């Protein structure tokens, strides 16, 4: 079998029809036209989950690294909170991210790792994933995604997804976007009247006899912060798909833990120090079957000072270390191979607020650097050639000025300088670049009932350095598919140039005294020059990562959510297209069109919540020659929970209630069939 990046390639199709000024969406299926009409007419929501429409005060560090309310932020942003995760009984990172427009995941069911795809881009850091600010850069060549991470959603407080290279202030590489997880802490877990609390959650899933135990304990340190611990145990057997067929090797045992301390010494200061660990064991591989043990560690420290009234200081400084080690033992021979990557990094930035005449400035300056150290050993095989050892150092600095010119016009200008060096196997590679960003925000309805409506247009560039594997991979693939991998030390970095326009809106008291409507929509075109893709030469029987001269990804996405207290509803959809403009081929990681509809109700003084979510996903046949397509599918999930008291909550969910048999385009196996989930959560605090 060919490597992951060669899974999908297709000969050119007829030129796409023009669509607005963004360079042409291709002929749409009936499903796609319906999706677009629904999305454009209803626009888009600020949150991927309708139950969050009442939480208009969600605070997140967004596109520009300025902490603000989500409803004040423009651009391709979605946030999912812990409350969403608990309501949906999310079993994985994929469950958490699935309702978001423009976001997909690439999973191998016999490996608990997740790769995130944003607007058709993934692998080798094109989507930067962070946990408490720490980059997750693990990669192992094989029949899987080239860039994945291990994380338990039970640890999550909130996840923010920023789509497109407009988030280049987050660091080098994120030409697709940024997925930023924040873990739970004592101050968010403890109720206002609690000094200490312990919570125990049990969940049983019928498909695969899955068991979850999650224990959280926290204590308040007087006025100076708090300390929290979380232990998670999962025991899953292999599940069955919608046809009732067992999907083998999907069993896994997971033990995960989080320790997090939060200090608030006063004067606007806060310090967070977290350590989390995932220990996963599972079996996979073909034709060689391996017993796998994965240990993923993240240690992160962050200091924040809001200036204590001084407008020239809003300082954040962080440092982190992540390590992911995967050990594989061949069951038949006992041979062991190890894959390890350590990442060390730091990030510092400050925001100043001041006026020059009538202009109001929010001025941010910062710098960051990280280093990947990859070490792979395989005494009896060639894994160390396909995932080569090496070292890569990536750093950069940025400056950004958000200027309020009038009440209805805001302009942002920014620039980021990136540099990198890579070495290993006797080769080296380096480079640097300055990437600009500009955004205009129009608020034409200020001081009216439509003051929550904003329009924006932006242009942003992002820069991704080649990965160690892309540059240094070497060796001969073992039988039965024998071919040669060639290194390419002359690889050039990718440059993404993203043009985007959209709108956001947040409105209250529309039909009742306390209802809310939130929306967010965008249309974009991301031209990537020197795109790095795997190229197979059938004449020479060789495979090499090369710079494809031009690639283009373009699409439309949106969400809308309405909440009236007793009921809530949302609609979210996205269409993504990706082309190799040099060869005319389709790109190989563009997910299918999707539309996600949610409706829910609250009863018994809002102690009970129940509803349904419908995933309608189109057929994906825009794939490279010889690659599998995916059929259209519809999956309906039911959710319900009842808060008997602060100390006892009951949950009942049904995933895939109609037992649809399906496989997502980017996944390697069928997804689970009908699954009943029973959740019991108890809490003791005081």
What pLDDT shows up at residue 397? 94
Residues 6+ apart with CB under 8 A from 416: 168, 169, 396, 397, 398, 434, 435, 437, 463
Q: Name the residue range of residue 612's domain.
A: 4-18+39-184+196-650+660-685
Across 476-480, average pLDDT: 83
> Is residue 23 in some structural domain?
no
Q: Distance between CA 670 and CA 674 in Å, rounded? A: 12
Q: Is the pLDDT of residue 19 over 90?
A: no
What pLDDT shows up at residue 167? 62
- Asked if 633 and 594 touch (Cβ cutoff 8 Å), the reply is no
Q: Is the pLDDT of residue 5 over 70?
A: no
What pLDDT shows up at residue 7? 37
Domains identified in the chain, total number: 1
Q: Tell me the chain's radius of gyration from C-alpha atoms.
A: 24
59 pLDDT band, cuts 50/70/90, is low
What pLDDT shows up at residue 170? 67
> Is residue 25 in some structural domain?
no
Burial of 524 (C-beta count, 10 Å sphere; 0-12/13-18/19+): buried
Task: Pick the closest to residue 629 from 613, 616, 617 (CA basis).
Answer: 617
Q: What is the DSSP string of 127-153?
A: EEEEETTEE------SSS-SS-B---G
For residue 212, the domain's CATH number is: 2.40.170.20
What pLDDT shows up at residue 35? 37
- Asked if 313 and 355 touch (Cβ cutoff 8 Å), the reply is no
- What percentage of the chain carries pLDDT values higher than 70? 90
More confident position, 443 or 62: 443
Task: Pick the closest to residue 24 from 651, 579, 683 (CA basis).
Answer: 579
Q: Is the pLDDT of residue 220 over 80?
A: yes
Across 350-355, average pLDDT: 96
> Is residue 24 in some structural domain?
no
Pairing of strands 542-563, 484-486: parallel
- For 158-179, the pLDDT digits (tens) are 999 999 887 656 667 789 999 9
- Asked if 674 and 655 touch (Cβ cutoff 8 Å), the reply is yes
| CA-angle at 237, arms to 236 and 242, nearest 5° | 105
> Is residue 189 in some structural domain?
no
Map tokens 């509809």 to a residue.
Answer: 597
Across 362-381, average pLDDT: 94
Q: Distance between CA 12 and CA 586 in Å, rounded? A: 7
- For 62-89, the pLDDT digits (tens) are 566 677 777 778 888 999 999 999 999 9
What pLDDT shows up at residue 62? 58
45 pLDDT band, cuts 50/70/90, is very low
> Is residue 634 in some structural domain?
yes
Element at 193 (helix H, strand E): none
Q: How far is CA 453 from CA 13, 36, 71, 315, in A?
A: 39, 20, 10, 30
> Is residue 609 in some structural domain?
yes
- For 283-303, the pLDDT digits (tens) are 887 778 899 999 999 999 999
- For 618-672, the pLDDT digits (tens) are 999 998 777 778 899 999 999 999 999 989 999 999 999 999 999 999 888 899 9
Q: How far is CA 386 from CA 251, 423, 479, 546, in A?
A: 27, 16, 15, 16
Q: Is the pLDDT of residue 38 over 60?
A: no
- Mean of the per-residue pLDDT values for the chain? 88
Q: How far is CA 85 from CA 57, 441, 574, 612, in A?
A: 18, 32, 21, 15
Across 345-349, average pLDDT: 95
Q: Distance between CA 62 and CA 164 in Å, rounded? A: 12
Q: Distance between CA 306 and CA 569 in Å, rounded? A: 36
SS3 call for 58: coil
Residues 6+ apart with CB under 8 A from 383: 141, 337, 339, 376
What pLDDT shows up at residue 168? 59
Q: Distance between CA 599 and CA 610 in Å, rounded? A: 9
Residue 319 is encoded by which pair of tokens? Answer: 């440092």
Across 270-283, average pLDDT: 96
- For 127-151, the pLDDT digits (tens) are 999 999 999 999 998 777 889 999 9
Q: Is the pLDDT of residue 306 over 60?
A: yes
Residue 470 is encoded by which pair of tokens? Answer: 């892309």
Strand partners, 273: 261, 301
43 pLDDT band, cuts 50/70/90, is very low
> Is residue 191 in some structural domain?
no
Across 271-287, average pLDDT: 92
Q: Is the pLDDT of residue 318 over 70?
A: yes
Residue 422 is encoded by which pair of tokens? Answer: 């890579």
- For 571-603, the pLDDT digits (tens) are 999 999 998 888 888 888 899 999 999 999 999
Q: Is the pLDDT of residue 50 over 50?
A: no
Across 254-280, average pLDDT: 96
* Other beta carbons less than 10 A from residue 495's beta carbon: 18
* Other beta carbons less than 10 A from residue 406's beta carbon: 11
- For 376-424, the pLDDT digits (tens) are 999 988 888 899 999 999 999 999 999 999 999 999 999 999 999 999 8
What pLDDT shows up at residue 602? 97
> Is residue 190 in some structural domain?
no
């Amino acid at each position: 079998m060919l490597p992951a990046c060669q899974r999908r390639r297709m000969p050119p199709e007829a030129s796409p029809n023009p669509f607005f000024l963004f360079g042409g969406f291709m002929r749409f299926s009936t499903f796609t036209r319906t999706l677009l009409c629904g999305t454009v007419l209803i626009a888009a929501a600020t949150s991927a989950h309708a139950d969050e429409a009442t939480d208009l005060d969600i605070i997140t560090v967004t596109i520009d690294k300025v902490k603000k309310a989500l409803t004040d932020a423009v651009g391709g942003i979605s946030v999912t909170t812990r409350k969403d995760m608990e309501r949906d009984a999310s079993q994985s990172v994929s469950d958490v991210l699935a309702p978001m427009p423009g976001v997909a995941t690439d999973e191998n069911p016999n490996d608990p790792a997740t790769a995130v795809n944003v607007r058709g881009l993934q692998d080798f850091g094109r989507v930067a994933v962070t946990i408490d600010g720490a980059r997750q850069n693990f990669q192992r060549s094989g029949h899987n995604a080239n860039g994945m991470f291990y994380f338990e959603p039970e640890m999550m407080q909130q996840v923010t997804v920023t789509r497109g290279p407009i988030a280049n202030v987050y660091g080098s590489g994120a030409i697709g976007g940024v997925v930023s997880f924040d873990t739970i802490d004592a101050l968010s877990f403890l109720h206002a009247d609690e000094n200490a609390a312990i919570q125990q959650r049990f969940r049983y899933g019928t498909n695969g006899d899955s068991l979850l135990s999650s224990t959280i304990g926290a204590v308040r340190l007087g006025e100076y912060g708090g300390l929290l611990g979380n232990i998670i145990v999962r025991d899953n057997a292999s599940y069955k798909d919608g046809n009732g067929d067992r999907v083998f090797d999907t069993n896994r045992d997971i033990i995960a833990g989080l320790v997090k301390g939060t200090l608030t010494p006063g004067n606007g200061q806060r310090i967070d120090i977290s350590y989390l660990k995932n220990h996963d064991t599972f079996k996979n591989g073909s034709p060689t079957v391996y017993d796998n043990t994965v240990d993923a560690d993240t240690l992160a420290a962050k200091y924040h000072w809001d200036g204590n009234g001084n407008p020239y200081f809003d300082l954040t400084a962080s440092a982190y270390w992540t390590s992911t080690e995967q050990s594989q033992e061949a069951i038949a021979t006992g041979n062991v191979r190890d894959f390890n990557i350590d990442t060390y990094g730091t990030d510092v930035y400050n925001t100043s607020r001041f006026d020059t005449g009538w202009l109001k400035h929010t001025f941010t300056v910062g710098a960051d650097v990280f280093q990947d150290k990859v070490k792979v050993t395989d005494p009896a095989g060639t894994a160390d050639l396909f995932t080569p050892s090496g070292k890569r150092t990536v750093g950069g600095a940025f400056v950004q000025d958000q200027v309020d010119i009038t009440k209805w016009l805001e302009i942002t200008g920014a620039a980021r300088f990136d540099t990198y060096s890579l070495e290993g196997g006797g080769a080296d590679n380096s480079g640097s670049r300055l990437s600009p960003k500009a955004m205009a925000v129009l608020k034409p309805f200020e001081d009216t009932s439509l003051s929550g409506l904003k329009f924006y247009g932006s242009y942003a560039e992002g820069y991704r350095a080649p990965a160690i594997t892309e540059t240094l991979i070497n060796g001969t693939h073992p039988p039965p598919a024998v071919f040669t991998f060639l290194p390419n030390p002359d690889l050039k970095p990718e440059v993404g140039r993203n043009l985007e326009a959209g709108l956001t809106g947040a409105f209250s008291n529309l039909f009742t005294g306390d209802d809310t409507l939130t929306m967010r929509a965008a249309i974009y075109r991301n031209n990537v020059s020197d795109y790095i893709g795997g190229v197979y030469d059938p004449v020479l029987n060789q495979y090499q990562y090369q710079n494809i001269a031009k690639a283009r990804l373009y699409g439309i996405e949106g969400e809308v959510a309405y909440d009236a207290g007793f009921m809530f509803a949302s609609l979210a959809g996205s269409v993504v297209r990706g082309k190799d403009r040099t060869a005319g081929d389709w790109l190989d990681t563009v997910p299918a069109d999707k539309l996600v509809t949610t409706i829910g109700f609250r009863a018994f003084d809002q102690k009970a919540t129940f509803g349904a979510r419908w995933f309608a996903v189109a057929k994906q046949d825009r794939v490279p020659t010889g690659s599998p397509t995916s059929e259209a599918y519809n999956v309906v999930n039911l959710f319900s929970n009842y808060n008997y008291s602060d100390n006892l909550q009951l949950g009942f969910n049904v995933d895939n209630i109609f037992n649809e048999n399906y496989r997502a385009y980017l996944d390697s196996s069928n997804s689970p069939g009908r699954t009943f989930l029973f959740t019991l959560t108890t809490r003791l605090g005081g």
